[in-house]
């Protein structure tokens, strides 16, 4: 036996060596958790910019279990606890947590990071040996990223069925087995992501033709067959998005995603990938056809009696002061919403929501606009659920959102009805604008429309300050038009209306993207957004057009990403067709647009040395402005800086980010750029960056 902090590690079945290891990274992780508290993990992840550090230490991993109704009386068995990514979340909710893992080193990492908990015991060894000694029945048995290794655990003819049968023996009556696993037919694998375990393209889709490796993922149909053949009759499927590793939303069959919601699909943190098609559009198509459950990237199966949770959404990638979760629950036909802080620092933010409700009621008194009330009513008393002070309960309102109604009008080319709805929105946005209270997130998707009865369902971002109605309208237009493709005509309708009836809105639309970027930075704080972290980790995503053109012509391709206030994404990027190359120098132009805030330039897809030779605008060399400190210019890169304008990149995804606002007097014309790019071997580039110190921020 070994004790680390309050945690006991039992080694009765430890074979004397770790039979599963990721190598030196585990030594690094052990040193990190020994030297640093959990509160510093996020900073370390962002500074390191490496996949293994992010994967093992990210707080986002906990989202997969944090929404489950585990109580302080429950005993939990966690099979395959690894480095403890979710152990702490379980320990903070349950009476007792028993962990099983093959690796002693990983178990020590787990113990060090969670040493404050006195209700955790870790058993090291093979599951088949340890399970025979388990002497209590569990309320929850957790298999998070573990069930796919059932063959290695069991080694029997029907390993997955046998695995379930053995687990069921340790389950208390009315208890739950929880399985989180990839869907072998998940949309991301068709779109060009490598299979998570083998690293091969289309490996699961082709039913693992090579036959090597012990991990296997399944379709929904096959998972159901395994569960029922093990004698388990009660179970329910949930759908973590983008996947179960880093989920921000959990859907269910009662609360499936709506068209336009699944747009955060480029999440290839661990490996490079292809971009074979637009995943958001493909998801929209399968949602429309009622086929989403078959193409969800991951599954989460909860066996046993039905739990109350129907939907969960997490926003813990924000600044800690604003990290919250939202869970929709249902019992006896009654639904309600629970919104809670997921960090201690966010308590004040959550507790302020009810105060905002009262203030907004006063502002909009007499307009017919309502806000879903926060209150505790019968369903919560009946369930005898413990509520922390940082949790509020809100009414659940049925109905279509204003965004959905507008989309229906757009699809039917019903301009008159579209503008009738938009006109009422504008009237409400401008009502009471002299009040010193503003719901800044007063946008189409946060309004439920039932006939002429309108209700606001999310007023989390309410501030004690005046904000013009025109600014709210401009932001609503921006959010609507940038969250989903195919809304250009709707924007034209709204701009036409505003020019005639809301001229100030028409003026604000030119700068709303920059305002939105500032607001998102306020919400994000000093932390990197996940999209920024993905770029820093540096595994690229290659479009088929890029691959075909590169193979066909052999000409270097420069990729440009545009930020119009909502960050960088693959679907807002393009390749420059007319790159001129002379003596390792690339000459190209970046087209400027009125609402462009930041531009990211990817000069290559391999480790390299890059020198910025010149940047010209309107015939003037503005290189000095690019490198000068101030509002505009070079903001960030993911290489090691050698001189003011030269850099080593040890990644296959080298890039610069330039802030254009403040750099250029007006956003018209073209920015002419000349870069010298010299390809390096992986070893040379890595050695150069290590010697210089790999720093992404200037």
Structure tokens at 164: 């379930």
Nearest by Cα to 528 from 494, 567, 488: 567
Name the percent of the chain lying above pLDDT 90: 65
pLDDT band at 693 (very low <50, low <70, confident <90, very high): low
Q: What is the CB neighbour count within 10 angstroms for residue 452?
A: 7
Read off the pLDDT of each residue in 423-442 and give the average, rounded to a whole number: 94
d(CA 559, CA 155): 48
- 675: nearest Cα among 633, 616, 625: 616
Which pLDDT does position 257 carry in this prediction? 96
**418 token code pair:** 């579209």
Res 668: pLDDT: 78
pLDDT band at 551 (very low <50, low <70, confident <90, very high): low
In this prediction, residues 321-328 reach a mean pLDDT of 95
Angle at CA 430, nearest 5°, toward 427 and 434?
A: 150
Mean predicted lDDT score pLDDT of the chain = 89
Element (H, E) at 279: helix 279-288
Burial of 374 (0-12, 13-18, 19+ CB in 10 A): middle
Q: What is the residue-wise DSSP string for 465-509?
A: S---HHHHHHHHHHHHHHSSSS-HHHHHHHHHHHHHH-HHHHHHT
Of the pLDDT bands very low, low, confident and very high (cuts 50, 70, 90), residue 686 is: confident
Residue 555 has pLDDT above 50, yes or no: yes
Give residue 267's pLDDT: 86
Which of the pair, 128 or 239, is modelled with greater confidence?
239
Instruction: Map out the domains of the chain as residue ranges.
Output: 331-395, 400-508, 530-692
Within 8 A by CB and 6+ apart from 135, the residues are: none
* Cβ–Cβ under 8 Å, residues 90 and 61: no
Q: Token match 């001229």: residue?
A: 503
Between CA 511 and CA 575 the distance in angstroms is 26
| Strand (E) or helix (H) holding 108 | helix 104-113
Looking at residue 14, the DSSP 8-state letter turns out to be -
Q: DSSP letters of 218-230?
A: B-HHHHHHHHHHT
Q: How far is residue 203's CA from residue 184's CA, in Å, rounded to a whole number?
A: 8
Which has the higher per-residue pLDDT, 210 or 500? 500
Max Cα distance, the chain (Å): 79
Cα-Cα-Cα-Cα dihedral sign, residues 563, 564, 569, 571: negative
The whole-number average pLDDT for the span 271-282 is 93
Structure token pair of residue 483:
């969250």
Q: Residue 379 pLDDT more than 80? A: no
Q: How far is CA 675 from CA 110, 384, 503, 535, 611, in A?
A: 46, 65, 43, 20, 6
Residue 553 has pLDDT above 60, yes or no: no
Q: List, in sequence order, every beta strand (DSSP E) within 507-555.
A: 541-543
559-563 and 573-575 strand pairing: antiparallel
Per-residue pLDDT of 558-609, as tens digits, reads 899 988 877 888 778 888 878 888 877 899 999 888 778 888 999 988 888 8
Which tokens in the block code for residue 172?
A: 């208390």
The SS3 of residue 189 is helix
Residue with tokens 């750099």: 663
As a whole number of angstroms, the distance between CA 306 and CA 236 comes to: 7
Give the CATH number of domain 400-508: 1.10.510
Q: What pLDDT shows up at residue 321?
A: 94
Query: In angstroms, rounded to a whole number, what is the distance separating the alpha carbons of residues 1 and 12?
Result: 8
* pLDDT tier for residue 682 given thresholds of 50, 70 and 90: confident
Quick one: which of 344, 307, 303 has its CA closest to 323?
A: 344
pLDDT at position 123 is 97
Region 661-679: mean pLDDT is: 83
8 A C-beta contact, residue 681 and residue 607: yes
pLDDT at 389: 46
Name the residue among 65, 31, 68, 70 with its Cα closest to residue 48: 31
How far apart CA 378 and CA 459 sit, in angstroms, is 24
Q: Which of 126-130, 236-240, 616-620 has the highest mean pLDDT?
A: 236-240
Question: Over the stretch 149-192, which tens digit does the pLDDT of each residue have?
Answer: 988 778 788 999 999 999 999 999 999 999 999 999 999 999 99
Whether 340 and 324 have beta carbons less than 8 Å apart is answered as yes
- Whether the bond between 636 and the residue before it is cis, its omega within 30 degrees of 0, is no
Give 10's Cβ-side CA count (13 Å radius): 16
Cα–Cα distance measured from residue 611 to residue 613, given in angstroms and rounded to the nearest whole number: 6
| Per-residue model confidence (pLDDT) at position 387 | 40
The more confidently predicted of residues 95 and 578 is 95
Up-side HSE of residue 8: CA atoms within 13 Å toward CB?
10
- Measure the CA–CA gap between 157 and 193, rounded to whole angstroms: 31
Spatial distance between the Cα atoms of 598 and 490, rounded to a whole number of angstroms:
25
Q: If you count DSSP H runs as helices and E runs as strands, how many of each does the chain have, helices first?
A: 25, 34
Is the pLDDT assigned to residue 234 strictly greater than 60?
yes
Q: Is 169 exposed, middle or buried (0-12, 13-18, 19+ CB in 10 A)?
A: exposed
CB 463 within 8 A of CB 436: no
| pLDDT tier at 320, thresholds 50, 70, 90 | very high
**What count of other Cβ atoms lies within 10 Å of the Cβ of residue 2?**
15
pLDDT of 381 > 80? The answer is: no
| pLDDT for the residue numbered 676 | 92
Mean pLDDT highest for which of 104-108, 383-387, 635-639? 104-108
Token code pair at residue 298: 């991951």
Cβ neighbours, 10 Å, residue 644: 12
- Cα dihedral 531/535/536/537 (nearest 10): 100
Mean pLDDT, range 395-406, rounded to an integer: 93
What are the backbone angles phi and psi of residue 183, rounded to the nearest 5°? -90, 120
Answer whether residue 661 shows pLDDT above 60: yes
- Looking at residue 683, its pLDDT comes to 79
Residue 346 CB burial class (10 angstroms; 0-12, 13-18, ≥19): buried
How far apart CA 640 and CA 659 sit, in angstroms, is: 19
Q: What is the DSSP string of 201-258?
A: BTTTTTT-TT--SS---B-HHHHHHHHHHTT---EEEEEEES-SSS-SEEEETTBPPP
The confidence band for 482, taking pLDDT boundaries of 50, 70 and 90, is: confident
Mean pLDDT of 128-137: 89
What does the buried/exposed string (b/e) look like for 580-614 if buried means 16 or more CB atoms within 10 Å of the residue's CB? eeeeeebbbbbebeebbbbbbbbbbbbbbbbbbee
Confidence at residue 105, expressed as pLDDT on a 0 to 100 scale: 96
The DSSP output letter for 145 is: S
Classify the C-alpha dihedral 188-191-193-199 as positive or negative. positive
Task: Please determine, for residue 485, whether its predicted confidence score (pLDDT) is greater than 90.
Answer: no
Does pLDDT of 388 surpass 60? no
Instruction: Report the distance separating Cα 664 and Cα 666, nearest Å.
Output: 6
So what's the pLDDT on residue 694? 57
């Amino acid at each position: 036996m070994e004790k680390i902090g309050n945690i006991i590690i039992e080694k009765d079945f430890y074979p004397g060596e770790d039979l599963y290891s990721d190598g030196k990274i585990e030594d690094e992780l052990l040193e990190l958790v020994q030297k640093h508290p959990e509160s510093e993990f996020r900073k370390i992840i962002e500074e390191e910019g490496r996949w293994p550090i992010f994967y093992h230490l990210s707080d986002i991993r906990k989202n997969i279990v944090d929404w489950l109704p585990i109580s302080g009386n429950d005993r939990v068995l966690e099979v395959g606890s690894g480095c403890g990514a979710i152990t702490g979340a379980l320990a903070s909710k349950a009476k007792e947590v028993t962990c099983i893992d093959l690796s002693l080193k990983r178990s020590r990492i787990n113990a060090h990071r969670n040493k404050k908990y006195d209700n955790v015991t870790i058993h090291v060894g093979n599951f088949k040996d340890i399970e025979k000694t388990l002497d209590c029945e569990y309320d929850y048995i957790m298999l998070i990223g573990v069930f796919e290794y059932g063959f290695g655990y069991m080694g029997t003819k029907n390993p997955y069925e046998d695995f379930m049968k053995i687990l069921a023996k340790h389950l208390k009556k009315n208890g739950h087995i929880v399985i989180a696993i990839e869907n072998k037919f998940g949309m991301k694998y068709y779109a060009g992501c490598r299979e998570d375990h083998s690293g091969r393209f289309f490996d699961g889709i082709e039913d693992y033709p090579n036959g090597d490796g012990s991990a296997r993922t399944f379709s929904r149909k096959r998972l159901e067959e395994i569960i029922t053949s093990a004698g388990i009759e009660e179970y329910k499927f949930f759908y973590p998005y983008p996947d179960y590793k880093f989920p921000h939303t959990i859907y269910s069959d009662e609360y499936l995603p709506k068209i336009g919601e699944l747009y955060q699909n480029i999440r290839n943190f661990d490996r490079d990938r292809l971009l074979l098609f637009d995943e958001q559009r493909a998801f929209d198509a399968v949602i429309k056809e009622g086929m989403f459950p078959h193409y969800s990237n991951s599954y989460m199966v909860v066996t046993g009696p039905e739990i109350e949770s129907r939907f969960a959404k997490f926003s813990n990638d924000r600044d800690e002061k604003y990290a919250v979760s939202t869970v929709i629950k249902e019992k006896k036909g009654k639904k309600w919403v629970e919104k809670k802080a997921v960090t201690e620092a966010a308590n004040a933010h959550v507790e302020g929501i009810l105060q905002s409700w009262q203030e907004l009621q006063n502002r909009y008194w007499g307009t017919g606009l309502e806000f879903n009330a926060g209150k505790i009513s019968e369903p919560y008393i009946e369930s005898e659920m413990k509520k922390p002070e940082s949790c509020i309960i809100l009414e659940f309102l049925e109905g279509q959102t204003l965004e959905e109604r507008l989309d229906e009008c757009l699809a039917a080319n019903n301009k008159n009805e579209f503008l009738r709805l938009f006109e009422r929105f504008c009237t409400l946005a401008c009502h009471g604008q002299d009040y010193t209270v503003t719901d800044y997130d007063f946008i189409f998707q946060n309004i439920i429309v039932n006939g002429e009865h309108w209700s606001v369902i999310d007023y989390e971002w309410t501030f004690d300050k005046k904000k013009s109605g025109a600014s709210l309208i401009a932001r609503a237009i921006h959010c609507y038009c940038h969250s989903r493709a195919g809304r250009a005509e709707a924007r034209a309708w709204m701009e036409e209306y505003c020019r005639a009836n809301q001229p100030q809105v028409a003026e604000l639309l030119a700068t709303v993207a920059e305002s939105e970027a500032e607001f998102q930075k306020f919400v994000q704080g000093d932390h990197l957004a996940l999209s920024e972290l993905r770029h820093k980790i540096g595994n690229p995503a290659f479009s088929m057009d890029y691959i075909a053109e590169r193979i066909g012509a052999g000409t270097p391709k420069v990729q440009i990403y545009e930020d119009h206030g909502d960050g960088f994404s693959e679907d807002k990027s393009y390749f420059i067709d007319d790159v001129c190359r002379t003596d390792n120098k690339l000459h190209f132009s970046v087209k400027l647009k009125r609402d462009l805030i930041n531009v990211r330039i990817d000069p290559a897809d391999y480790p390299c040395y890059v020198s910025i030779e010149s940047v010209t605008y309107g015939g003037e060399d503005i290189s000095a402005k690019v490198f000068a400190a101030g509002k505009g210019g070079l903001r960030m890169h993911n290489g090691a800086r050698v001189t003011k304008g030269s850099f080593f990149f040890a990644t296959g995804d080298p890039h610069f980010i330039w802030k254009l606002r403040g750099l250029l007097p007006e956003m018209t014309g073209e920015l002419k750029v000349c870069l010298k790019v010299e390809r390096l071997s992986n070893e040379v580039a890595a050695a150069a960056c290590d010697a210089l110190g790999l720093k992404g921020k200037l």
